[in-house]
Amino acid sequence: MRIFLAVLVLIFSFQSWTKADDISDFQMEGMSIGDSALDYFSKSILEKNKELEWFNSKVFIPISELKLSNSKTYESFQIAVKNNDQNYKIAMLAGFVFYKNNINECYQKLDSIASEIKSLFDYIKDLGKETYKHSYDKSGKSTITDIVLVDKNGNKISIQCYDWSDELPYWDQLRIRIANKKYSEWLTDNN
């Protein structure tokens, strides 16, 4: 069972779908965790956009600034794959919607999206809403507010608002991230 996850669908025209068992059932513009990224992006784009210095990882490699020309909801994507995985199997998938100096719009959507996602599951654990400083910004002025949901298999979906400091060259953003249990555990251990 695949369920299409899109910000606008969740907010404006949410339909009553069959209850999901696992977060990996969700799709973002047709992509799901467990899929091969090669089904959506060329190998040359994936190689070009690898962030090899990120966490100096020997386990997972993030691949950022991925664009789908037919994306209706997300402006950019990030994925993570296991290091040296020639099939580029997606362990984490994140979709981005950018807000130029309009973080309040993101905050309004955060709770609504989380509520809609929770309604899709017979069982899902809500770890609550948390706001914390972004570790990249040494000034401490950038924050992340997120709601993390965990399915019965330990997979996670995070709905996040990134409020970047005005001194940094980044736009505020809504980020929806789907991650399998192994990636989530690795990220927790390396953060």
Distance (Å, whole) CA 46 – CA 109: 30
Distance (Å, whole) CA 27 – CA 66: 16
In this prediction, residue 125 carries a pLDDT of: 94
Confidence of residue 20 (pLDDT cuts 50, 70, 90): low
In this prediction, residue 144 carries a pLDDT of: 96
DSSP label at residue 164: -
Distance (Å, whole) CA 41 – CA 147: 29
Per-residue pLDDT reduced to its tens digit, 135-153: 889 999 999 999 999 998 9
Exposure class string for 152-178: b at 16+ Cβ within 10 A, else e: eeebbbbbbbbbbeeeeeebbbbbbbb
In this prediction, residue 17 carries a pLDDT of: 41
CA–chain centroid gap for 145, Å, is 13
Per-residue pLDDT reduced to its tens digit, 46-105: 988 887 665 556 788 888 888 988 888 999 999 999 988 999 999 999 999 999 878 999
In this prediction, residue 4 carries a pLDDT of: 43
Distance (Å, whole) CA 63 – CA 41: 11
